[in-house]
Amino acid sequence: MRHQKIIIKEQHLLLISEKAIYWVEEKCLILSDTHYGKAGTFQQGGIPVSSDITYHDLKRLEKLISTYQPTEVFFLGDLFHSHENTEWRILSDWLKKNKNVVFRLIPGNHDILPKELYEQSRLLLEDKNYIRKPFLFTHHPSENIHSDGSVFSISGHIHPGFQLSGLGRQQVTLPCFVVTENSIILPAFGRFTGLHRIQREKEDIFVVADDEVIQV
């Protein structure tokens, strides 16, 4: 696991190759679009994809926690893929085990479980626009808040991927962090998530290749 350090509004953010951000000053681990439970949803629909993915994704999160020792974890939406299934129990058991960490969910369009389930779990359900100065955390990258330039937003939703091409028709699309003057979009954390190819305009792009983060 490696990372790239960037400084924004005098805050140190580590863009980690496990597709998460560590915010040094606040000891926060930030991740988005985990889509836990997606394998189970597929199983219910008659498509056998193993729930091992969820176990594995939780292990990755565990490793992030043990490496960076955050006191809080922010999930920027799409924490759980769809309706309740067996994997919800796996997730809430896991949250219980990690008592030393505060988990906050800034809800996204996939977070459609009944409120009680969130309340029964160790998750703190936050507003869709969650502010922790100097940042605004949301699921959807929101454009209108940016106009006055005073707010810096950190979000997910898009599952950004960036295509690189080399000599001889080599092409590869990799998950990436998209950094602009007033926003960061995170890559999707979940293994069972796809990529949405983005076109670069003025952004800084940091792709995740194997266990490295590389600015391109």
Which residues have CB under 8 Å from 149's CB, separation 6+?
A: 181, 182
Scanning residues 31 to 90, which ones bind other proteins (CB under 8 A)? Answer: 38-53, 55-56, 81-82, 85-87
Size of the site for other proteins (CB under 8 A): 51
φ, ψ (nearest 5 deg) of residue 187: -70, 160
* CB closer to other proteins out of 137 and 156: 156
Amino acid identity at 175: P
CB 186 within 8 Å of CB 30 = yes
Stretch that binds other proteins, among 126-134, 135-143, 145-153, 189-197 (CB under 8 A): 189-197
Stretch that binds other proteins, among 71-79, 93-101, 127-135, 204-212 (CB under 8 A): 204-212
Residue 136 beta carbon to other proteins: minimum distance, rounded to whole angstroms: 26
Element (H, E) at 43: helix 38-44
Amino acid identity at 205: I
* C-alpha closest to that of 15 among 207, 216, 210: 207
* CB closer to other proteins out of 131 and 216: 216
Q: State the residue for tokens 């219910």.
A: 44
Supply the angle between the helices 86-97 and 52-68 in degrees, to the nearest 10. 20
Stretch that binds other proteins, among 98-106, 115-123, 144-152, 202-210 (CB under 8 A): 202-210
Q: Is 7 in the site for other proteins (CB under 8 A)?
A: no
Q: Site residues (CB under 8 A) for other proteins?
A: 1-5, 38-53, 55-56, 81-82, 85-87, 110, 164-170, 172, 174, 191-194, 207, 209-216
